[in-house]
Amino acid sequence: MPLVELRNVSKIYHLGGEEIRALDDVSLDIEPGEFISIIGPSGSGKSTLMHILGCLDSPSKGTIKLDGTMIERASPRELAAIRNRKIGFVFQFFNLLPKLNVLQNVELPMIYSGVSSRERRERGMEALKMVGLENRSKHKPNQLSGGQQQRVAIARALVNSPKIVFADEPTGNLDSHTGEAILKLFNDLSQKGRTIILVTHDPEIAAVTPRRIEIRDGKIAAKVDEKLAGLDRLAARATAGT
């Protein structure tokens, strides 16, 4: 059964008497454990689609089912609860709090969930171990490289064991080598059953995912499904670059 089901979803704005369709009759299924990309130029509707999939916004029309729950008419409070329990976000800018150390930054979503301090530490360290930074738990963000800071952001996104992780231009502030390491980490998480949705304007970044959804003018312009797994494609890219 799909983890996410969108049916005939539209997002409509009215500006100065003009109707703007940021999304126009979009239908899409996303399966558990998929590593997919949503790609499109600026203004294509890809960010609107991410916001609706990520429960940051509600559609004007259509239905959305997330993990078996219909959410298109959920209240802002209900959407916030769903985000906290089932969704993690990683952005281009790391959004780490500079006065907190690495572990404290990772623990933040659990504070909002009411998790005890002991459990927060245990789960926070486990999330840091998943991204290879358990030995940096007491460092401040300014003591880390860009790639390490993004790994902390990924650990923070994973700490509540979400069903889905959204990665919005996650390599935009990283050099190519570090960016590929982050993409490999996302692929590894997908191989372990985590659903990863990568949002990007860059075809080369999108090409590492086995499935790609191209958004243009608020509509799905193309769907690409490939048998070559993301890990194999990353390996091929690395070989080509040597």
| pLDDT per residue as tens digits for the range 82-102 | 998 899 999 888 889 999 999
pLDDT at res. 227:
52
Strands (E), 138-179: 164-168
CA distances from 163 to 2, 48, 81, 116 (A): 12, 20, 13, 22
Query: Number of folded domains in the chain?
Result: 1
7 sits in which H/E element: strand 4-15
| pLDDT per residue as tens digits for the range 129-147 | 989 999 999 999 999 999 9
pLDDT at res. 21:
94
Helix (H, G, I), strand (E, B) or coil at 54: coil
Contact 9, 27 (CB under 8 A): yes
pLDDT at res. 94:
87
- Confidence class of residue 242 from pLDDT cuts 50, 70 and 90? very low
d(CA 129, CA 238): 25
For the record, the structure tokens of 126 come out as 């486990």
Residue located via tokens 């299924």: 29
Range of the domain at 57: 4-240
Q: 231: which DSSP letter?
A: H
Q: What is the dihedral of CA 130, 165, 46, 25, to 10 degrees?
A: 150
Instruction: Give this prediction's pTM.
Output: 0.85
Helix (H, G, I), strand (E, B) or coil at 76: helix
CATH number at residue 176: 3.40.50.300
Mean pLDDT over each residue of the chain, to the nearest integer: 89
Task: Tell me the Ramachandran region of residue 171: left when phi exceeds 0, alpha when psi lies from -120 to 50, beta otherwise.
Answer: alpha
Asked if residue 222 has pLDDT above 70, the reply is: yes
147: nearest Cα among 180, 124, 169? 180
